[in-house]
Structure 1
């Protein structure tokens, strides 16, 4: 949730720098039609095929966004917000922004932890206003997005502000340190602890699925075990 419409757009574009975090931490779609795609999140390749996918335009006030929306509806291509398949989009009827890059986690606990991570980032943004988004943030957006989809936690991350190249895992851990006090105030410290443990191990659900498939040599059995894991049943 966001306090007002302008804050929602600022939040949206600040969150865009962290899209690779969300992809790598939630990645759980390495297989398509029984084949390993070599991507940790192959699902997003399908979404990216839509003409209005990708990123939102870098406008930072609701008035500017309304003008953009009016122009798009005037083309006849867009009728509602649902026609935008952006990685993050505003949700005016709820007063929220909607982050759409997450794969389905294989446990309820991981889903809750990812929510806690987003909540902690949002609290940090609102409390400290750590940077002002700009169009130049998006110069490396598609590159960072691809890296996270392809390599997961082993990806390279290019910092939009400095141009520095670093392991994505390193950037995630540094971010977790930055937002730790905000996570504690939101009651999300256990969320960060769960995710940090997996980041330090280089473990996400895509890796878990590949490990199971390597052991079982039968994707149907891997899928069965994944379903059991989601139900909280012993494997």
Structure 2
């Protein structure tokens, strides 16, 4: 459990896990431990892409030099960061696979964004977006869709330039939606909004692990990972943030398009043998449950509509979902 940018936030981190179910169990244990502290204080736990009505500038910032520097540099945008996400690391057996797999995961950015989108409200208003968080977070320096690098040497040169010019002090300050993490030997998928249920987190983790394993096998067999043009990558992110499950996404460099949920179902079928090998078939199947039952932003809209737009009920519903976990 770690401090985060805002004092209202606790980041929960697992150790290295062999399976998604193991990671879910660790997260559950951590939540139980946190509740032993928060329950007597009358504090509820909430997790989504954003809080629907909290005033961003009213949230105290953690007293830490790196956070103070970030707020000083980013000013108004940095003061808006009442946003929360889920990050999934998957270990690799070769550094040479990291950058191709980063490119590959960006091809699925819209899928993850649509499944996890849970930040439609901001400052008490309906933004019209499924994920306000996605567009808010990319306003920070070095955040957003990563660049394409053909070689690890090119990536190292980029990091060196960022340090030399004072854009970052440490490689961890590169906050891309997907990034390699050299100190862990992983690729880190950071696209997803915060999710209130462990079932949903497990679904996102399983989809991530299956895709990475599938791409790793492709590279082992001498294949390559397609790289979409940067304008398609950026457009897909916007479409998923705006329309969520109803996004028509761009599939490839040729510009072919499909409803994101239709393509997800095709991918679930394709990845089923990979999930069986990795021991996460049940968790991958929960992706279909999100598709049919609704993503977080859809539930928030439904609850708000049922209670005359009262966003406090949206928060209460989220808290109930966490308590089921």
TM over 0.5: yes
Give runs of aligned pairs for residues 62-141 of structure 1, distance below 5 A: 62-129=152-219, 131-134=224-227, 136-141=228-233
Q: Aligned partners of 1:119, 1:204: CA distance in 2, in Å?
A: 20
Q: Aligned partners of 2:205, 2:293: CA distance in 1, in Å?
A: 20
SS of structure 1 residue aligned to 2:149: coil
* C-alpha contact (below 8 Å) 1:5/1:61 kept by paired residues: no
Alignment of 1:232 with 2:320, yes or no, is no
Alignment of 1:181 with 2:273, yes or no, is yes
Counterpart for residue 155 of structure 1: 247
Q: CA deviation at 1:202?
A: 6.7
SS of structure 2 residue aligned to 1:119: helix
State TM-score, norm by structure 2. 0.67
Q: How many residues align?
A: 231
Q: Aligned partners of 2:313, 2:289: CA distance in 1, in Å?
A: 27
Give runs of aligned pairs for residues 9-88 of structure 1, distance below 5 A: 9-88=99-178
CA-to-aligned-CA distance 1:53-94 (integer Å, 9 cap, x gap):
222221133222112211222212122122222111111111
State TM-score, norm by structure 1. 0.92
Counterpart for residue 219 of structure 1: 311
Q: Aligned partners of 2:298, 2:232: CA distance in 1, in Å?
A: 26
Q: CA deviation at 1:26?
A: 0.7
Change (3 A) 1:137 1:177: farther
Change (3 A) 1:52 1:143: same
SS of structure 2 residue aligned to 1:224: helix
* C-alpha contact (below 8 Å) 1:153/1:202 kept by paired residues: no
Alignment of 1:190 with 2:318, yes or no, is no
Larger radius of gyration between Structure 1 and Structure 2: 2
- Give me the CA root mean square deviation: 1.6
SS of structure 2 residue aligned to 1:128: helix
Q: CA deviation at 1:184?
A: 1.1
Counterpart for residue 296 of structure 2: 205
Q: CA deviation at 1:220?
A: 0.7
SS of structure 2 residue aligned to 1:140: helix
SS of structure 1 residue aligned to 2:187: strand
Q: Aligned partners of 1:44, 1:113: CA distance in 2, in Å?
A: 19
* C-alpha contact (below 8 Å) 2:189/2:208 kept by paired residues: no
Unmatched segments (≥5 aa) in structure 2: 1-90
SS of structure 1 residue aligned to 2:315: helix
